[in-house]
Amino acid sequence: MPKEINTKLSNDQKKVMFEEATEPPGSSKLNSEKREGFYHCANCDTKLFESNLKYESGSGWPSFFEALPAVFETKTDYLLGYARTEYHCKNCGAHHGHIFDDGPRPTGKRYCNNGICLIFKSK
Ligand SMILES: [Zn+2]
C-alpha cells in the first residue's frame, strides 16, 4: 500500500510512523496532557482519540482505553519475538502503537500510543 508521508514530519516521527520504531518511554509531553480535546494523527490530521478516552497507565506512553470508531486497522507483528497487536491509522497507514489487554474498564484495552504520532488540539 503506498503511503502518503507528510513532508512536515520530523525524522523521528517518520521512523516511528513508517518504520514502526518506538519512542523512548517518558519522552512525550502528551503523557501529562489533561486538557479536553482531540488527539489527531500527526501525518494526516484524522481525529483518533478524544481526551475522555485517555488514562494514566504508568507505562511512559500516552494510553487510551478506547479509540474513536473505525479509525485504526490492526495487524499482528513479531518484532520483539512474540505476537503483538500493532495498530495504524486507517486513513494514511501510519503506525501509532500497540494494543494490550491490561487496560481499565469498560474495554480492558490499552492503546499504547507513541506521543510523537499525535497532535493534541484542545477544545
Ligand atoms: Zn493518519
Q: Provide the pLDDT for residue 63.
A: 98
User: What would the grid cell of residue 55 be?
Assistant: 488514562
Give SS3 for 68. Answer: coil
Active site positions, annotated: 112
Q: How far is the CA of 102 from the centre of ligand 1 (A)?
A: 25
Q: What is the pLDDT of residue 105?
A: 94
Ligand 1: centre distance to CA 26 (Å): 23
What pLDDT sits at residue 86? 97
pTM listed for this prediction: 0.94
Q: Give the per-residue pLDDT at 1.
A: 47
Q: Please write the tens of the pLDDT for every residue from 51-60.
A: 999 999 999 9
pLDDT computed for residue 4 by the predictor? 84
How far, in Å, is the centroid of ligand 1 from the Cα of 112?
16
Nearest to 67 by CA among 93, 103, 33, 92: 103
The answer to whether 47 and 14 have CB atoms below 8 angstroms apart is: no
State the sign of the Cα–Cα–Cα–Cα dihedral 62, 63, 68, 73.
Answer: positive
The alpha carbon dihedral of 84, 87, 88, 91 has a sign of: positive
pLDDT of the chain, 123 residues: tens digit per residue: 447 899 999 999 999 999 999 999 999 999 999 999 999 999 999 999 999 999 999 999 999 999 999 999 999 999 999 999 999 999 999 999 999 999 999 999 999 999 999 999 999
- Beta-bridged to residue 74, according to DSSP, are 87
